[in-house]
Amino acid sequence: MDDDTPTEIGPATTELNAAIEAVLMAATEPVEVGDLAQLLEIPITRVESLCAALAGDYERDGRGFVLARVAGGYRFQTHPEQAPYVERFVLEGQSARLSGPALETLAIVAYKQPVSRAQLSAIRGVNVDATLRTLVQRGYVEEIGHEPTLGSPALFGTSRMFLEKLGVDSLADLPPLADFMPDAHIVEVLERGLHVREPEANEVLADELTPDELPAGEVPAGEVPADESAPAPTAAEIRATVAVEKVAVEPVAVEPVASDLAAGVEAPE
């Protein structure tokens, strides 16, 4: 039996395809499969097969749009290969983009939700109140509950608009964090480079002990051990060394300035 021939179980395939295209074209957000099935009065499985067939037809025809399943429903969206032209048309001249801190906060919410405001601040190390407020106003983040602790702080998660903007059907389609982590040997090198050697116990004690309290054979920290093989200095060498050190530390004479100051003050008449 021809699929385009009306039957007792419902409208023909051609009519159903046209209805699906018309509804998705008029919709401003993805239309859920259940809503399409209720609207067309056909089973959900039939809707799935019809949408899959339409998507295949568009791909074979090389259309500039695709029928994609996004956020639990179906919608028309531009073909990925036409992204340069769409970007030039849509984004040129626009400056209302999310800042770096906002994108970081949004990423944390996406992968750690539900998450509270305090947890976000602790992870980022800064106050996120203003950033979180911006994400809520943009519609990417929404309040999804409250934490069962003192004060019942609000818990936040990503919204359906977030899935729409990313073009994914669910959070399970987000790229895994493991793809962005460095290899194990790189992490090991980084940890080794950041490691600070702790001083040995004897080094700490050597800084605190006087020369008389040091064990035999050890010298205070910062001093160079004497060369036992070197000959002892003579009396003349010792006197010459003392004379040189005395000259080096001899204080510089300072001319008295009291008389000069007094001379600059006029005596009273």
Q: Which amino acid is at 238?
A: I
Residue 246 has pLDDT above 70, yes or no: no
Tell me the pLDDT of the chain averaged across its residues. Answer: 76
Q: What is the pLDDT of residue 257?
A: 47
Alpha helices in the chain (DSSP H): 13-26, 33-40, 44-61, 83-90, 100-112, 117-124, 129-138, 160-166, 184-194, 201-208, 235-248, 258-263
Please give the model's pTM, rounded to 2 decimal places.
0.42
The pLDDT tens digits of the residues spanning 66-108 come to 999 988 899 999 898 988 888 888 766 555 678 888 999 999 9
The rounded Cα 5 to chain-centroid distance in angstroms is 56
pLDDT: is 249 or 28 the higher one? 28
pLDDT: is 28 or 51 the higher one? 51
Domains of the chain (ranges; CATH) run: 13-88 (1.10.10.10), 100-179 (1.10.10.10), 182-221 (no CATH)
Residue 250 has pLDDT above 50, yes or no: no
Residue 3 has pLDDT above 50, yes or no: no
Distance, CA of 132 to CA of 109 (rounded, Å): 10
The pLDDT tens digits of the residues spanning 6-33 come to 444 456 888 999 999 999 999 888 999 9
Residue 14 tokens read as 């051609």
Nearest Cα neighbor of 164 from 72, 55, 228, 44 is: 72
Q: Is 45 exposed, middle or buried (CB count within 10 Å of its CB: 0-12, 13-18, 19+)?
A: exposed
The pLDDT tens digits of the residues spanning 182-217 come to 777 776 776 666 555 555 555 555 555 555 555 555
| Cα angle 56-59-63, degrees, rounded to a multiple of 5 | 135
Query: What would the mean pLDDT of 204-233 be, rounded to a whole number?
Result: 54
